[in-house]
Structure 1
Amino acid sequence: MTRISPENPEENAARPHRITDFARNEDGVITIFTIFIMLMMLMVAGVGVDLMQNEMRRTALQNTVDRAVLAAADLDQTRPATDVVEDYFDKTGLREFLTDVRPNQGLNYRTVTAEAFMRTNTQFMGLLGVDSLPVPAFSQAVEDVPNVEISLVLDISGSMRFSNRMKNLRPAAKNFIDIVLVGPSANTTSINLIPYAGQTNPGPFMFGRLGGDRYSAAALDEDDGGIDELFNNTQLPSSDDAGTGSDASVRYVYPNVSSCLEIDNSDFSDDRLPSDGYYTQTAHFMNWKIASEIVRDEDDNPVLFDENGDVVESGGTTRSVMDWGWCPQDQTSIIYASNNATVLKNRIDTMRMHDGTGTHYAMKWALALLNPDTQPDFAQMALPANNLVPAQFNNRPLAYDDSETVKYIVLMTDGQITEQVRPKDTMHTLNPTKHLGARSSDRKTITSKSTNVTNFKKQCDLAKEESRNVVIYTIAFEAPGTPEDQMRYCASSTGHFFKATGKEQIAEAFATIARQINELRLTQ
C-alpha cells in the first residue's frame, strides 16, 4: 500500500520517477571511461619502462659474465680464473653482484662457470605491489684442447714457381703451425706434414716397412747425372767400378734419392696404408722441362748462391727453382705426427718444388695417417732407434670414435690433378737429365687424369663418412676452374673451402683454418 505524505502528496508521488531518471542518465560516463583508459595506458607504459630498464641491466650483466668467463677459460691465461672474472666485474663496477665463480681445469681443458645477481627497482610496477625485478646472469666457457690429429697437405708442384706462390705459401703455412701448436694445445696436437708433387714420398723407413722394392744400384758418370754414392739410398758393391766425375775420390752412381711407392688403383678403395706388401719404386725422372729454370731476381737477373745456400752477389752458382724428380726427394718427404714447430717450419722453409700434381696420392696418405689401423706403424716410428714420431704420440692415430679426439685434413693445391706418366725403362740413362716430354717413345701413361680424379674423390668420400668424421679443409690457391671444383668437392662443406689469391689471402686462409681448429667455445 502506497503512503502519501499529507504535507506534499504530489512531490511524494513524483519521487520514484526521479530516481529512475537518474539511473538512466548517461551524462559524464565517457569522461569516467576515458580517465580509466588513460590510467590503464599509463600503467602499461610504466610496466614497459620498468621491463626495458630491467632488460638493459640484465644485458649489461650478462655481457660482463660472458666476457669474464671467456677470458678466464683461455688456456693461455696465466692468472687464476677467479681473479680474472672478479677483475672484469671490478672494471665494470658490478663486483658486488658477482655471486659465484667455479673454475675446473685438467691437462687439456679449462672450464669456468660464473653467476651474478642483482635487482632492478621499479618506478611504476610498485603501484601493483612489485617493488623490484630480479636480474640473474649465468655463463660457462670452456677451452677444450682435445687430442688433435692434423694432416697438413701442401702442393709443391712446379706451377708453384709462378707468381711467387711458393714464396707466399711458406710464411702462411708456418703461421698455421704456430697457431695450432700454441700453448698447452701443443701437447695434444700432432701434425703429419705431407708435401706432394707428382707423387708423395713417405720416406725411406715407411718405404721399406710397406714392402718397397728399390731399383738396383748402377754406376753413372757425373756428367750424365750421377751423384755421390754417399747420398744415395743404394750402393754398389765396393768391388764394382763406379762412375767418374769432378772429384776423383767420389764414387758416382745412378740417383736413388727418393722413396715413393707405386701404389695401384685398388689401394684407393680403402683408407688404410698401402697394404699389398710389395711395391716397386717410382723412377727418378721429370716429365716437363721446368727443372732447368734458375732462380731470378725481380730484374730477371740470375741469383747466385754459395755452397751453404746463401745468396751472394758474385762468385757463386745459379740454382734451379726445383729439384729433379716426379717423386719428391727424401729431404722433402712426409713428417709424421710431429708437434715440434721448429722441425715442421724448417721443412716448410726448405722443401723444394718437384714435377707433376698427384693430389690423389697425397690425399691417400693424409687419410691413412689418421686411420687408427696405422697405430702399429707409428709405434715403430716412435722407437728410439727410429725417432720419427715423438714418444708421446706412439699410440696415434687414435680411434675414429674417440670422444676426445678430432681429426683434420688441410689440403692446399694450385693446380688440377694430372695424368700419371712414367719412363718405360725405370733406369734409362737419360732419366736423370732429360725430361720425358722430349722422349715420347720412352714414356708411358699408367693412369689417366680422370682415373686419378676418381681415386681422389674416393679418398675424400671415405674421409667424410660418418664413421670416420674427418674434417676436411681445402684451399684452391690461385687455381680457378677445375682445381677449384676438385677442392670444393673434397671439403667437408662449402664453409670448409677457401679460395686464395696472393700473399695476404693465402695467409688469411691458413690462419682462419687454424683459428677454427683452436676455437674457444662459449657453451652456455
Structure 2
Amino acid sequence: MTIFSCYIFLIIIALGGIGVDVMRHERDRARLQGVLDRAVLAAADLDQTQDPKDVVMDYLTKEGLQDYIDRDTDIIVTPEFSGEENIGPLGYRIVEATARSSFPTQFMHLSGIDTLNVQAHSVAEERIGEVEISLVLDVSGSMNSYNRLVDLKVAAKNFVNQMSANTRDGDLSISIIPYATQVSFPDSMLPHLSLSGQNDHANCINFSDDEFLTTSMDLGRERERTLHMSPWPWSSYAFDLRAENKRVYYEMCDDGVLIEEGETDGSVSRNNREILPFQKDANAINTYIDELRAWGNTSIDIGMKWGAALLDDSTADMISAMADGSESATVPSEFADRPSAYNSGDAMKVLVLMTDGANTDQGAIKAPYREGPSNIWWNGAEKVYSSYNDSTNQYFWHHEGIWQDHAYGAQPGSEYEIQTRVRVCGYYNCWYEYQTETKEEGGNAARLDYAELWEQTSVRYVRNLLDDWMGSSAAGNWYNSVVDWTYNDTKDQRVRAMCDLVKSPERGAYIYSIAFEAPESGATLLDYCASSDNHFYKVGDASNELTIDEAFSSIGSSIRKLRLTQ
C-alpha cells in the first residue's frame, strides 16, 4: 500500500511538472511574440528613419532576446530600402520577422523531452501615404427600389469623409465611376480620346472585347463613341420625338436627362451621371454623390473597365492635362502625376465595386448604321417620313401608304393622286368604292444621317416604320442587322477577366466588393472579384444584418495607415 501511494505521488508530481513546463513555454512564447509585434510595428512606420532591421534588433536586445533572431535571415524588409531612402515616393513598407528560442525542461525531460522550442512570427506594414481610389457605383434603375440609392449616398459620403479625415491633404485621390447601361465621361476627357461616331450628346465608349483583357487604356486607339440612341427591341419602346424636337429617352448612353422628372430635351446637366476623376475635396465629392440619379440597365464590366483604367498609368497623360493648373482644369494640380503605375509602390490603389443587381444586356449600333446618310427622309413641316427601297428605287410615303419616285416634300407644290376607299350608300344598302383624290405636296424632305435618326427616333420605331412595306419578318431581320447586343454571360466573363487583372500580384491593387441586396448571380460575381473573402461584403442578406454604411466603414477601416497583418 505504501509503495502504491508513492507511485501515485510521483505521478502527480510528474503531471504537475509537465504543467509547469507548458506554462513556462506559453509564458516565454507570449513574451517573445509581444516584443516581436511591437518591434515590427515600429520598424514598419514610414516615419522611422533608422534601418528597420536595426529597429527590430534594438527592441529584442532591450528585452534580452537578441540571441533568438538572425538579423540577416530572419528579418525581411520590403521594399529592400531602409532609413531616409524609404520615406516619401515609395509610400509603403512591410517588415516580417521570425524569432526562435528553446529552453530546458525541468520535468518533461523525465519522459525524454529535454527542451521545448518557442517560435514567434509577425508581419506589419504601412502603405497609406498616397492612395488612389476608384469608387465604381451602380446607379441602374433598380437602385431606386427600397431606398437603396439614398442609403448608398449616405454610406459613400461617410466613406469619403472617413478617408479624407485620415490622410494628408493631397495624398488621397478619389474617382467616382457611376455605371448603369453604360458609363459616361465628362467633356473634359473628350480632347484626349480618339473617337469615331461623333455626336453632341452621348459621352460613352463601345469597348472591344480585347480591352477587357488589360487594365490599360491606349489613349491613341480609335474607339466607337456610343451614339445617342434607344435600341430596345420591345414594342413599348417604339417612340419618336422628332416632331417635338426632343431626344430619345431610355438611351444607351446617359446624357443626364431625368426621366423621372419628365425631362426629355437634355436641358438638365448630365454631371450627375458622369465620371468624377481624381478629386480630393470631400465637400465637392459629397455634393456630386448627392446629385446621383438612378435608371438604366447594369453593365458591371464597363464600370470595372473605367475603374481599372483610372488606376492605370496609361491614362496619366490625360489626367495630367486635366490637372494643368489652368482655370479650365477639372483635376487638382496635386494629381498631375497620377495615376501612378500599378505595383510601383508610389500609391496604394483601391477599387471599390458595388452593385445591387447583375449584368444585363447592352446594345450598340453596328456599321454601316452608325454614320452617313440613312434611307429615311423627314418632312419637318408636314411631320411625316418617307423611306427608300434601293432594290426598286422607290420611296414609300408612310402617311399615305403609297410608293413614289421621290421622298414626300422633295418636289413641294407638285400634285399627286391617291386612291381613297370611301363608303357610299344607296336607298337600300351601302358599299365601299375607291375614288381618286388629287393632293399637293407640302413641306420639304430632308434625308437624315444615321446619327440624326437615332438621336430622336428609337430603333424599334424605325423597325415598325419599315414594317409598313417590308413586312414583319424582313423588318425584324433589318433590326437585327442594326443593333449589336452584348449579353450578360459575355459581360460576366469580362468582369472576371478585369478583376483577375486588377487584384493580381503584378498590380498590387485591392478590390473591395459590395453586393447590396443583389441577386445570387450578382453576389457570386462580386465575391469572385474581391481580393479575398475579407474584401467581400454581402449587404442585406438574410444571414446577416450588415448595412451598406457599415460595409463602407469597414472598408475605410481596413485601409488604415498602419496595421498588423499577421
TM over 0.5: yes
Residues 140-159 of structure 1 aligned to structure 2 (within 5 Å): 143-159=126-142
- 1:420 to partner: Cα distance: 2.2
- CA contact under 8 A between 1:151 and 1:408: conserved in structure 2? yes
Q: TM-score, normalised by structure 2?
A: 0.56
Q: CA 1:281/1:407 → structure 2, altered by over 3 Å: closer, same or farther? A: same
Secondary structure (helix, strand or coil) at the match of 1:342 reads helix
1:282 is matched with which residue? 227
- 1:461 to partner: Cα distance: 3.7
Query: How far apart in 2 are the matches of 1:138 and 1:195?
Result: 43
Query: Out of 177, 187, 192, which is 2:175 matched to?
Result: 192
Q: CA 1:138/1:504 → structure 2, altered by over 3 Å: closer, same or farther? A: closer
Q: CA 1:58/1:182 → structure 2, altered by over 3 Å: closer, same or farther? A: farther
Query: Out of 330, 335, 346, which is 2:271 matched to?
Result: 330
Q: TM-score, normalised by structure 1?
A: 0.60
> Are residue 341 (structure 1) and residue 264 (structure 2) matched?
no
Counterpart residue type for residue 346 of structure 1: T
Q: CA 1:138/1:453 → structure 2, altered by over 3 Å: closer, same or farther? A: closer
- CA contact under 8 A between 1:419 and 1:447: conserved in structure 2? yes
Counterpart residue type for residue 193 of structure 2: L
> Are residue 320 (structure 1) and residue 260 (structure 2) matched?
yes
Residues 75-86 of structure 1 aligned to structure 2 (within 5 Å): none
1:247 is matched with which residue? none
Q: CA 1:515/1:267 → structure 2, altered by over 3 Å: closer, same or farther? A: same
Counterpart residue type for residue 552 of structure 2: F
Residues 149-228 of structure 1 aligned to structure 2 (within 5 Å): 149-184=132-167, 187-212=170-195, 215=198
1:51 is matched with which residue? 21
- CA contact under 8 A between 1:420 and 1:445: conserved in structure 2? no
2:354 is matched with which residue? 412
Secondary structure (helix, strand or coil) at the match of 1:184 reads coil
Query: Out of 486, 490, 508, which is 1:448 matched to?
Result: 486
1:513 is matched with which residue? 555
Q: CA 1:72/1:185 → structure 2, altered by over 3 Å: closer, same or farther? A: farther
Secondary structure (helix, strand or coil) at the match of 2:484 reads strand
Query: Out of 479, 484, 496, which is 2:535 matched to?
Result: 496
Secondary structure (helix, strand or coil) at the match of 1:426 reads helix
Q: CA 1:428/1:379 → structure 2, altered by over 3 Å: closer, same or farther? A: same
- 1:463 to partner: Cα distance: 2.8
- CA contact under 8 A between 1:158 and 1:322: conserved in structure 2? no
- CA contact under 8 A between 2:184 and 2:204: conserved in structure 1? yes
- 1:173 to partner: Cα distance: 1.6
Residues 84-483 of structure 1 aligned to structure 2 (within 5 Å): 143-184=126-167, 187-212=170-195, 215=198, 256=201, 258-273=202-217, 275-277=220-222, 279-283=224-228, 320=260, 329-385=270-326, 386-403=328-345, 405-421=347-363, 425-428=450-453, 431=456, 441=464, 444-449=482-487, 450-483=489-522
Query: How far apart in 2 are the matches of 1:39 and 1:153?
Result: 71
Query: How far apart in 2 are the matches of 1:498 and 1:184?
Result: 24
Query: How far apart in 2 are the matches of 1:342 and 1:47?
Result: 65
Q: CA 1:33/1:485 → structure 2, altered by over 3 Å: closer, same or farther? A: closer
Query: How far apart in 2 are the matches of 1:67 and 1:413?
Result: 38
Q: CA 1:435/1:344 → structure 2, altered by over 3 Å: closer, same or farther? A: farther
- 1:69 to partner: Cα distance: 7.8
Q: CA 1:140/1:465 → structure 2, altered by over 3 Å: closer, same or farther? A: closer
Size of the aligned set, in residue pairs, is 407
- CA contact under 8 A between 2:183 and 2:303: conserved in structure 1? yes
1:522 is matched with which residue? 564
Q: Residue by residue, what CA displacement relative to the aligned partner does 1:287-314 show, whole Å, maximum 9, x if unpaired?
A: 5989xxxxxxxxxxxxxxxxxxxxxxxx
Q: CA 1:138/1:485 → structure 2, altered by over 3 Å: closer, same or farther? A: closer
Secondary structure (helix, strand or coil) at the match of 2:527 reads helix
Q: CA 1:414/1:521 → structure 2, altered by over 3 Å: closer, same or farther? A: same
Counterpart residue type for residue 280 of structure 1: R
- 1:70 to partner: Cα distance: 10
Query: How far apart in 2 are the matches of 1:268 and 1:428?
Result: 31
- CA contact under 8 A between 2:136 and 2:307: conserved in structure 1? yes
- CA contact under 8 A between 1:322 and 1:354: conserved in structure 2? no
- 1:343 to partner: Cα distance: 2.2
Counterpart residue type for residue 278 of structure 2: A
Q: Residue by residue, what CA displacement relative to the aligned partner does 1:172-218 show, whole Å, maximum 9, x if unpaired?
A: 222222333332366533222101111111211212310246756xx
- 1:352 to partner: Cα distance: 1.6
- 1:395 to partner: Cα distance: 1.9
Structure with bigger gyration radius: 1
RMSD, aligned CA: 5.4
- CA contact under 8 A between 2:356 and 2:515: conserved in structure 1? yes
Structure 1 range deviating more: 501-510 or 346-355: 501-510
Structure 1 range deviating more: 187-196 or 487-496: 487-496
Q: Residue by residue, what CA displacement relative to the aligned partner does 1:126-165 show, whole Å, maximum 9, x if unpaired?
A: xxxxxxx9x9999885544254322210011111111111
Query: How far apart in 2 are the matches of 1:151 and 1:283?
Result: 26
Counterpart residue type for residue 470 of structure 1: A
Secondary structure (helix, strand or coil) at the match of 2:352 reads strand
Q: CA 1:367/1:56 → structure 2, altered by over 3 Å: closer, same or farther? A: closer
- 1:422 to partner: Cα distance: 5.3
Query: How far apart in 2 are the matches of 1:170 and 1:384?
Result: 30
Q: Residue by residue, what CA displacement relative to the aligned partner does 1:14-68 show, whole Å, maximum 9, x if unpaired?
A: xxxxxxxxxxxxxxxx967974x56754653453454355457557757876897
Counterpart residue type for residue 164 of structure 2: L
Query: How far apart in 1 are the matches of 2:193 and 2:144?
Result: 33
Secondary structure (helix, strand or coil) at the match of 1:373 reads helix
- 1:482 to partner: Cα distance: 3.0
Query: How far apart in 1 are the matches of 2:42 and 2:178?
Result: 38
Q: CA 1:49/1:455 → structure 2, altered by over 3 Å: closer, same or farther? A: closer
- 1:383 to partner: Cα distance: 0.6
- CA contact under 8 A between 1:271 and 1:367: conserved in structure 2? yes
Residue ranges of structure 2 left out of the alignment (5+ in a row) = 48-61, 66-82, 97-104, 109-115, 238-257, 370-449, 466-478
Secondary structure (helix, strand or coil) at the match of 1:282 reads coil
Query: How far apart in 1 are the matches of 2:123 and 2:486?
Result: 54
- 1:351 to partner: Cα distance: 1.4
Query: How far apart in 2 are the matches of 1:462 and 1:111?
Result: 23
Counterpart residue type for residue 189 of structure 2: M
Residue ranges of structure 1 left out of the alignment (5+ in a row) = 1-29, 78-96, 114-121, 126-132, 217-233, 235-255, 291-317
Secondary structure (helix, strand or coil) at the match of 1:320 reads helix
Counterpart residue type for residue 451 of structure 2: T
- CA contact under 8 A between 1:200 and 1:328: conserved in structure 2? no
